Amino acid sequence: MSWQGLIAHFGDRMDIAKTVPPVTLHEGNTPLIPAPRLAQAIAPGCELYLKYEGLNPTGSFKDRGMTAAITQAVAEGAQAVICASTGNTSASAAAYAARAGLRCVVLIPDGKIALGKLAATIAYGAEVVAIDGSFDDGLRMVREIAERTPISLVNSVNPARLQGQKTAAWEVTEQLAGTPDWLCLPVGNAGNISAYWMGFKEQGHKPPRLLGAQAAGSAPIVNGARVDKPETLATAIRIGNPARWQQAVDALQESCGHILAVTDEEIFDAYRLVAKTEGVFCEPSSAAGLAGLRKAVAAGEVNPEGKRIVSVLTGHGLKDPDSAVREAAVPTRIPADLDALMRVMNV
């Protein structure tokens, strides 16, 4: 039987309603790609793997939680769903709501969204409302409307979301035939690190140590203090007051893990490096985990020698065309002439 999505494969271990057929786009089952040349560059001596979550249907790991949250919403009789989102969540909510035939409303903090993410959300038929306020304002508003009306909230405060997201830990374990020594990932709202930890703990094997990375301009957990005006070009982790803050701190502690801040420059260096050395294109925030690994290895906080290390690439590079284009050099222009081509190629 071919892959039919997360709930078909892992549903018996997910605490969600089983009374309706899963709402699925066959999410999950994403590749775990060996990255030997990148390992040599940033963490010599380890076996490094990339969990390429950008190959989920809407291009990010959010689809794992969304298949669970939308299935739950359908089981509860919801006719509409709502979320506040800086981008990846909105595209995922819109796609799964479309799949289920539900109305979807997305609140976006005004002007703070990557172009390609918004376009996809609209393509999936969601109603997009820009508010004159921050992500935190948006989250407050959608929480309130979900309390007063039969509209289902699908932000990561929805517990079904983590039930879906934790399956990534099980996939990593199946793919490696064991758990890694370290799992590296970006930390924004902290739902993903919490979900991985839940997944690793539930399966009973020795769990990995967690290495979380926050953007330096948006590092509330690292600094131990809320950030009122978070700033980073890694928009998917630009969150100053994470919803799963305490769960992330617990996960880091229980796993003997580590969390650190990486600058935008370090994030973009890693973003470029993984594409050029391994042929894997991720969105900038996804590269924070690799930037964190590189920094932790350089500082002696992680010893890579002989270790198996997995870095989670949360979204596809195509999710953020603005960043990609900003990085891109203008192509060389030549006449349609073979000599000109051989000259410019130096052959």
| Closest separation in Å from C-beta 110 to a copy of itself | 7
Q: Which is nearer to a copy of itself, 134 or 214 (CB)?
A: 134
Q: Walk across the sheet containing 32-34 and list its strands.
A: 32-34, 47-52, 308-313, 182-186, 209-215, 258-262
* Residue 15, H or E segment: none
| Closest separation in Å from C-beta 7 to a copy of itself | 14
The count of chain residues that interact with a copy of itself, using the rule CB under 8 A, is 83
| Closest separation in Å from C-beta 259 to a copy of itself | 28
* 109 contacts: CB under 8 Å, gap ≥ 6: 84, 86, 130, 131, 133, 134, 135, 137, 138
| Closest separation in Å from C-beta 257 to a copy of itself | 25
* Residue 105, H or E segment: strand 103-109
What is the pattern of x (binds a copy of itself, CB under 8 A) and - over residues 27-56?
Answer: --x-xxx---x--------------x--xx
Cα distances from 299 to residues 179, 210, 292, 295, in angstroms, run 24, 16, 10, 6
Residue 316 in the binding site for a copy of itself (CB under 8 A): yes
Residue 321 in the binding site for a copy of itself (CB under 8 A): yes
- Given candidates 14, 46, 94, 288, which one binds a copy of itself under the rule CB under 8 A? 94
Under DSSP, the state recorded for 103 is: E
> Which of these ranges, 183-191, 226-234, 261-269, 335-343, lies near a copy of itself under the rule CB under 8 A?
335-343
Residue 58 in the binding site for a copy of itself (CB under 8 A): yes
Structure tokens at 269: 């260096």
| Closest separation in Å from C-beta 112 to a copy of itself | 12
DSSP string, 50-92: EEEGGGSTTSBTHHHHHHHHHHHHHHTT-SEEEEE-SSHHHHH
What is the pattern of x (binds a copy of itself, CB under 8 A) and - over residues 123-162?
Answer: xxx-xxxxxxxx--xx--x--xx---x-x-----------
How many CB atoms are located within 10 Å of the residue 21 CB?
11
The torsion angle over the Cα atoms of residues 107, 111, 114 and 117, rounded to 10 degrees, is 30
Buried b (16+ CB within 10 A) or exposed e, 154-166: bbbbbebbbbbbb
DSSP string, 239-293: -SS-TTHHHHHHHHHHTT-EEEEE-HHHHHHHHHHHHHHH---B-GGGGHHHHHH
Q: Which is nearer to a copy of itself, 104 or 297 (CB)?
A: 104
| Closest separation in Å from C-beta 120 to a copy of itself | 6
| Closest separation in Å from C-beta 11 to a copy of itself | 17
Residue 332 in the binding site for a copy of itself (CB under 8 A): yes
Residue 26 in the binding site for a copy of itself (CB under 8 A): yes
Q: How far is CA 280 from the centre of its chain?
A: 15
Under DSSP, the state recorded for 183 is: E
| Closest separation in Å from C-beta 122 to a copy of itself | 4
- Chain position carrying tokens 């020594």: 181
Q: Which is nearer to a copy of itself, 27 or 190 (CB)?
A: 27
Residue 254 in the binding site for a copy of itself (CB under 8 A): no
Binders in 62-91 for a copy of itself, by CB under 8 A: none
- Given candidates 12, 204, 306, 333, which one binds a copy of itself under the rule CB under 8 A? 333
| Closest separation in Å from C-beta 38 to a copy of itself | 11
Binders in 261-290 for a copy of itself, by CB under 8 A: 272, 275-281
